[in-house]
Structure 1
Amino acid sequence: MKYMATYDLMESIRVTNEWLGSTAKAVCSYPAFGLSMNPMIQMTAAWGEVTERSFARMVAKPDWNIHSVVGTDGRDHLVDVITSVKKPFGDLIHFEVQGRTQMPRKVLLVAPMSGHYATLLRSTVVSLLPDCEVYTTDWHNARDIPVSEGKFDIEDYVLYLVEFMKYLGPDTHVIAVCQPAPLALAATAYLAEDDPAAQPNSLTLIGGPIDPGAAPTEVTDFGRTVTMGQLEQHVVQRVGFKYAGAGRMVYPGLQQLASFIAMNSETHATAFFDQIVRVARGESGEHDRHNRFYDEYLAVMDMTAEFYLSTVERNFKNREIARDIFEVEGKRVHIGAITDVAVMTVEGANDDISAPGQCVAALNLLTGLEDSKKASHLEPGAGHYGIFAGKSWRNNIRPLVLEFIDNNMTHDRRKMKFANIKSLHAR
């Protein structure tokens, strides 16, 4: 599995399916076929359209598509996506709202590096923009990073977060979603000992595997039962000749996508069949519900092999963060060193990826933090996606997170917030 030819074969299969779809769509769309009463002509054209779009999305990085936001003055303000810190494996980007005074709530949204792009958090960003100054991590596709840039593992990820937090300053509120939750916790603990003044004001951990052993799921069972040798032999591949990262060892996004789909194969099969029928009937749209979801879901990115393997081994198998024995560059990162940063955990009662119990375990590790600075929330009926982007996030969790941020804001930022409110009333 470690040969370039294997990676290129997988890409060749993807391109072939995209070509088959485009061919079927083109051939069965000739006007002459309109004379036929056979419904399979339209169904085949519809199958081709859905197939071509689906396989094309697998190698495309989605756009943020966040163009404007309504300000407190009632006007639409244009949004620019600005790169604040540029790094080989990921950038820190800022959603800069033109013509709006700086918001008192400065939020660093830490996106997962688990097979999808940071744009998976688009709706989360949109929901926070009216009330916050939003920054987020924008991880790069490993296939596009030359081998000369070196490695990127779980420790490098933590050090990236440390650098981003230092850049933003101590009046920042960090929100880590899913996979990076334990690493954001470790980065904060690293700062607690290395540069206490640079710690964020608050840390919100949403659906993250702080202690994967606290509540087993299919994901944790897989990480526990498979050996590292099996993963390295059967999962890791070398990037093929088509991309700038040729020769780099990666965990391919296409392989991750296959695993995602296999977990709910019947649901996905039904969704695509229904979409083909809608296309054949002329009932679909460019940005209908199906396309909005799958344009994002199918857009996958490769992870560096060392990041994927170190995550499985150190976080899921050895549970180093849960056992408080995690090290960065040979230095012990003691979670109990956090004494000033308020920490909140959010879990979904129906989360089948990071089950309830995995994330709230963080609070037990914070032995140096007062109980008054700890908070937790379990959202009834919510699955994994719902706790950061769905109805549960919009209606229940987001207001709680904003209230938590406000309760742990520095004096200067609190004054800025009240000044903005007075300015709004004056208008």
Structure 2
Amino acid sequence: MRYMASYDFMESFRNANQWFGATAQSFASYPAFALAPNPAFQWLAAWGEVTERSFERMIAKPDWGIDTFTCDDGKDHLVKVEKIVEGAFGDLIHFNVTGREKAPRKVLIVAPMSGHYATLLRSTVKSLIRDCEVYITDWHNARDIPVSEGKFDIEDYTLYLVDFMKKLGPDTHVIAVCQPVPLTLAATAYLAEKEPEAQPRSLTLIGGPVDPDATPTDVTDFGRRVTMGQLEESMIQRVGFKYKGVGRKVYPGLLQLTSFISMNAEKHAKAFSDQIARVAKDKAGDNDKHNKFYDEYLAVMDMTAEFYLSTVDRIFKEREIAKNEFVVAGHKVDMGKITTVAIKTVEGEKDDISAPGQCIAALALCTGLPDSKKASHVEPGAGHYGIFAGKSWRNNIRPLVLNFIDENSAAPAKPKKAGKKAANTNAA
């Protein structure tokens, strides 16, 4: 019961702070105060506005906000978000640009389940819609999933990816971002053994922890320091009575957000104090840089307890993917069985979450894949976020990824037997 009480306490704390913000803004904006102008009231109103907005965003799933798209014909076409596959824990959705010819490239983006919604990849999706038919995994908030739907761990996640790939067919190009990189690799290897005709044409793996020990970071060090018992005792709570998933064990989004912010506490504190100053001086707006970033960053979702704990235990502590010992539904997956799927890894030089070396380890695992099907790229000066969004993605990485897709769009020839050697990381 105490796990549920803790969950409800966090929700009450969030709700109270939202109310405090709204109250402060309302009080400081009382019209009579204009008779005796005082900067203190402007600052109080600004604090209230920023506070209310921030705490309100923590429980709302952001909208995709991709309503229209201007195509090569110069016309604005409506974009419909369509569910292709519906599941209890996640859907496969398609951004259907109505009225245009079908794009030549079919791309599946595997979004992370690491505290934020798939909408975190909004800019990635928008940058690809122009040239591709874009599909993405849209994971659900665990607090809204009834206990009757059962568990959801990393094996279940992998099988979801298998089903999504089978649905889209072998002419698909998969782009996995961050957390799902090792599980996407495992799903492809699973298909290579079970249903090789359903494998995608290519995999682009962006900033994921295939081998967390290749280049340790604060994230991997944390996974090493704490025991599984400590994690379960301190991080896991039961969903409160307000939501459909009442009673489900989760790693709460609000607790995750606390961890995210604590990693760069001074940076975030300065960002909010600067925003309060801008609001007080009437220099802020709904779509300014701060609000655009934090409206997404503060919107967090709960993860099922079994998914979080199995990720830490099996991916980071036991390194099952890195050691090629991962088991899915009783079947030991062998990455060496991937023989026809072209694989490209992308890493950021200054990535402090999944540092260079962690993702490229995927290439060495794929011993059955010829070097001509392997490629890698390290983006100079880019951090974690920059390798899938922002200037580095738009100007450098996206063109490389599209070129890689085009080079590997033809149906693969019958694979040649490859020796068990290390990957050629310089392949184009």
TM category, shorter = over 0.9
- Aligned-residue offset at 1:210: 0.5
- d(CA) in 2 for partners of 1:188, 1:141: 25
- Paired position in structure 2 for 1:363: 363
Question: Where do residues 147-186 of structure 1 align in structure 2 (5 Å cutoff)?
Answer: 147-186=147-186
- d(CA) in 2 for partners of 1:67, 1:232: 41
- d(CA) in 2 for partners of 1:112, 1:266: 26
> Any idea what the Cα deviations from partners look like across 1:243-301, whole Å, max 9, x if unmatched?
00000000000000000000000000000000001101111101111000000000000
- d(CA) in 2 for partners of 1:34, 1:309: 55
Q: Note if 1:325 corresponds to 2:325.
A: yes
Question: Where do residues 176-255 of structure 1 align in structure 2 (5 Å cutoff)?
Answer: 176-255=176-255
Q: Note if 1:309 corresponds to 2:309.
A: yes
AA partner of residue 238 (structure 2): R
Aligned length: 412
- d(CA) in 1 for partners of 2:206, 2:75: 32
- Aligned-residue offset at 1:72: 2.4
Q: Note if 1:381 corresponds to 2:381.
A: yes
- d(CA) in 2 for partners of 1:328, 1:377: 29
- Paired position in structure 1 for 2:417: none
- Paired position in structure 2 for 1:419: none
TM-score, structure 2 as length reference? 0.95
> Any idea what the Cα deviations from partners look like across 1:345-399, whole Å, max 9, x if unmatched?
0000000000000000100001000000000000000000000011000000000
- Paired position in structure 1 for 2:418: none
- Paired position in structure 2 for 1:297: 297
- d(CA) in 2 for partners of 1:71, 1:201: 26
Say whether the 8 Å CA contact 1:79–1:95 is kept in structure 2: yes
AA partner of residue 269 (structure 2): A
> Any idea what the Cα deviations from partners look like across 1:91-143, whole Å, max 9, x if unmatched?
00000000111111000000000000000000000000000000000000000
Report the 3-state secondary structure (helix = DSSP H, G, I; strand = E; otherwise coil) of the residue aligned with 2:14.
helix
- Paired position in structure 2 for 1:348: 348
- d(CA) in 2 for partners of 1:100, 1:251: 42
- Paired position in structure 2 for 1:424: none
- Paired position in structure 1 for 2:409: 409
AA partner of residue 190 (structure 1): Y
AA partner of residue 238 (structure 1): R
- d(CA) in 2 for partners of 1:364, 1:163: 26
- Aligned-residue offset at 1:35: 2.5
Q: Note if 1:372 corresponds to 2:372.
A: yes
Say whether the 8 Å CA contact 1:104–1:133 is kept in structure 2: yes
Q: Note if 1:337 corresponds to 2:328.
A: no
- d(CA) in 1 for partners of 2:232, 2:274: 38
TM-score, structure 1 as length reference? 0.95
- Paired position in structure 1 for 2:5: 5
> Any idea what the Cα deviations from partners look like across 1:297-346, whole Å, max 9, x if unmatched?
00000000000000000000000000000000111000000000000000
Say whether the 8 Å CA contact 2:201–2:411 is kept in structure 1: no
Report the aligned-residue RMSD: 1.0
Say whether the 8 Å CA contact 2:93–2:136 is kept in structure 1: yes
AA partner of residue 312 (structure 1): V
Report the 3-state secondary structure (helix = DSSP H, G, I; strand = E; otherwise coil) of the residue aligned with 1:159.
helix
Say whether the 8 Å CA contact 1:2–1:236 is kept in structure 2: no
- Paired position in structure 2 for 1:15: 15
Q: Note if 1:282 corresponds to 2:294.
A: no
Report the 3-state secondary structure (helix = DSSP H, G, I; strand = E; otherwise coil) of the residue aligned with 2:79.
strand
The percent of aligned pairs where both chains have the same amino acid is: 73
Say whether the 8 Å CA contact 2:158–2:186 is kept in structure 1: yes
- Paired position in structure 2 for 1:139: 139
- d(CA) in 2 for partners of 1:3, 1:270: 33
- Paired position in structure 1 for 2:426: none
- d(CA) in 1 for partners of 2:152, 2:109: 20
- Paired position in structure 2 for 1:425: none
The verdict on how the C-alpha distance between 1:12 and 1:279 changes in structure 2, with shifts beyond 3 A counting, is same
Report the 3-state secondary structure (helix = DSSP H, G, I; strand = E; otherwise coil) of the residue aligned with 1:3.
helix
- d(CA) in 2 for partners of 1:25, 1:132: 45
Say whether the 8 Å CA contact 2:171–2:411 is kept in structure 1: no
AA partner of residue 89 (structure 1): F
Report the 3-state secondary structure (helix = DSSP H, G, I; strand = E; otherwise coil) of the residue aligned with 2:355.
coil
- Aligned-residue offset at 1:69: 1.5
Which stretch of structure 1 is more off in the superposition, 55-64 or 35-44? Answer: 35-44
AA partner of residue 333 (structure 1): V
- Aligned-residue offset at 1:411: 5.6
Say whether the 8 Å CA contact 1:91–1:137 is kept in structure 2: yes
AA partner of residue 341 (structure 2): V
AA partner of residue 224 (structure 2): R
- d(CA) in 2 for partners of 1:331, 1:279: 56
Q: Which runs of 5+ in 1 are unaligned?
A: 413-427
- Aligned-residue offset at 1:55: 0.2
Report the 3-state secondary structure (helix = DSSP H, G, I; strand = E; otherwise coil) of the residue aligned with 1:79.
strand
Where do 4+ consecutive residues of structure 1 move more than 3 Å? Answer: none
- d(CA) in 1 for partners of 2:218, 2:248: 29
